[in-house]
Structure 1
Amino acid sequence: MTEHHVINPLSIGVDYASLAARFRPTFQRIAEGAPEREHTRTLPHAPIQWLKEAGFGAVRVPVEYGGGGASLPQLFALLIELAEADSNVPQALRGHFAFAEDRLNAAPGAGRDLWFKRFVDGEIVGCAWTEIGSVAIGDVVTQVTPNGDQWTLNGEKFYSTGSIFADWIDVYAQRSDTGGDVIAATRARQPGVVHSDDWDGFGQRTTGSGTSRFTDAVVEAENVIDFATRFKYQTAFYQLVLLASLAGIGRAALKDVAHHVRSRKRIYSHGNAAHVSQDAQIQQVVGEVAALVYAAEASALKAAEPAQRAYLARFGADEAAEREANVAAEIESATAQVVVSELIQRATSELFNALGASDVRQGKGLDRHWRNARTVSSHNPVIYKARIVGDWVINGTEPPFVWQIGNGPAKS
């Protein structure tokens, strides 16, 4: 009998109904506590632990390694469902899924296998890339320094989303010896790493997007990864997580407005029916919100398709096809960003036209949908993405695959 060895299995997708059914009880459990966590600003440590125990962090790992084998459109469909339960949670896992995607794109070998095992065992990764303060655009102050058989990491990051929940942190740093840009994957639970929950945005308040400080934190040599090898559709990937978060916010808002309209007893003398649920104008408002959410979700899922093609092309030995897929992933995610951001902000504001003054009370928590949508939409400024798409459509100018933020030159 001939033994079959799988050389490089890929995650090409599985039956979505079965995959989603595996996680929906956990999503429902997360949803039940979401309004209270929002009201008290309680970080979702328990929900993320439930997801780890359910194997959610390994959903993109190939089936042959014990993972879920999901395609990228399936991953983002799951993140939409999770965001409907609590939009903070998929954003908190954004860094994890991006790092996992990078390992999926890495060359087959023992190192990649080890990361797959960690993901399957429930370990998750946070993100720490952005430095704030007096840092010029393009500069990286955080450094890794050779120290015998290991490296040491020193620096400070903000917007370190999800790191406070994580086992590992994906840190963007610079080598002190060569000046090269690297990813330093460092263990999150060690004396040299301090997490601060100091994110004070008015939305997405429990994503753990605060400060991470590294003081002689230890990094194993094999976890200092040349940034030049980073997967090429990474910017599109990060944006797709935000699109999924927005679509999920829309679904949650639609569910809430339908519930409040059905249960509302008070009517206006100048309304159109004896019950709000039978008022044609109220029905129209809810129908319009439903249409906005539908369009946003459809756009988000459509935009994920070229990212999957880029992943498969990575191993297809056709550089032209791979580059084409990477460009499509960036352009389509940016195009969707422009419209989905507007659709969900409109939906989460419009829903109040179906309700009354009592529904703006803080106890109802309906404002969280708009606040969260507005906050998610502020990432990766829409105006620049619209220009990039326009430049591509008009002139065929390829989009930037990596961009940075920092201080500009001093004003004269």
Structure 2
Amino acid sequence: MVSLALFLSLCIFLILNLPVGIAIGLASLVAILTGGTLSLGYIAQTLVTSTDSFPIMAIPLFILAGELMSSGGVSKRLLNVANVFFGRITGGIAIVTVVVCMFFAAVSGSGPATVAAVGSMVVPTMLEKGYSKKFILALIACAGSIGVIIPPSIPMVIYGVSTGTSITALFMGGFLPGILIGLVLIFWCYYYCKKQGWRGDTEKISVKRAVDAVWDAKWALINPFIILGGIYGGIFTPTEAASVAAVYALICGVFIHKELKFNNLISTIGNACSTTGTTMIIIGFASAFTKILTIEQIPAMITNAIINFTDNSIFILLLINVLLLIVGCFMDTTPAIMVLSPILLPVATSIGLSPVHFGIIMVVNLAIGFITPPLGINLFVAARVGSEPLETVTKGIIPFITVMIICLLLITFIEPISMLLPRLIMK
């Protein structure tokens, strides 16, 4: 009865279009009232204890770092460097967009932040060069989803905290999948742009131009090496790396690039606070939801049901992927990870998957959710950046979703893509 009340009430609250965090909290309250085994104060207590965590501190700090980098001129300089080296290729500016999104992902950890930062710069340029608007906005939305796969990644932090998996190992595991997706997107852009006749930049590459662009972007280019090198070199933890990233972004924006003025600094911090507040509420309520699941032994029940249905590991993985893709269409990444990882991880480990590999599979699935209608957040951000209705973005997104699903299947069934680097650091 408690399980039925929990999931039925959650579905009803989501259908009523309540904010996801509030819907999860109210569903947890309904389950407590139905079961009577926990006190009503349990939810309030969990809201505090679940966010009172050192690893969780990385989330608001990475959010702040991403906002500061977006406002402080980092993305503009990364775009200039990528354009020098890739701009002359067929579909050059499209390829440059993917490369910049990959690099910005290594300093922001957020998909929507990557879309907003890169999209605001490349949309006018691509329109001038004759690219169609539906292709431009769909490309930016898709490339921005790499922001949660290449480390540092906020969803990986949430998964690590939810399951007790090493965040450092997850970060290392995200490198090759993120690069794979980026390369496949680059090949797709080249093929499609060549078919459409969209040529690259006609300006010749010169040593002076390349050196000037790299020199101007040197502080932006150094940033990911400081953050990730510090983590993997054992100098600081992922949480401490997030604080280093935020301070570094502030110094670059205010004192080095001098593009972060007092007025936009206040609004930038305000945006970070708003995003952090929403995220923390979701984490708090989702933690209560997860603990109720554990008390009711729902993860074990689902694991047994799936294993009794089939013991074929390939079929089980396909079922998990289909479920996560469907969930990604309707639920944001944070609550999806908080709610589903305790349920699905036992299923994954029962067929021999490591928690790190499954974490990467889960994050990639939910990254696809960023670009899947009806609630893909990157679609909304791209539409806002391009000042176009949502329909314009969704018309161009289907080929990109197909490319992402192909990459997902490769990552799911070719384990070394995710596990090669984590195994090297765990030796």
After TM superposition, the score normalised by the length of structure 1 is 0.26
Greater percentage in strand:
1
Greater percentage in helix:
2
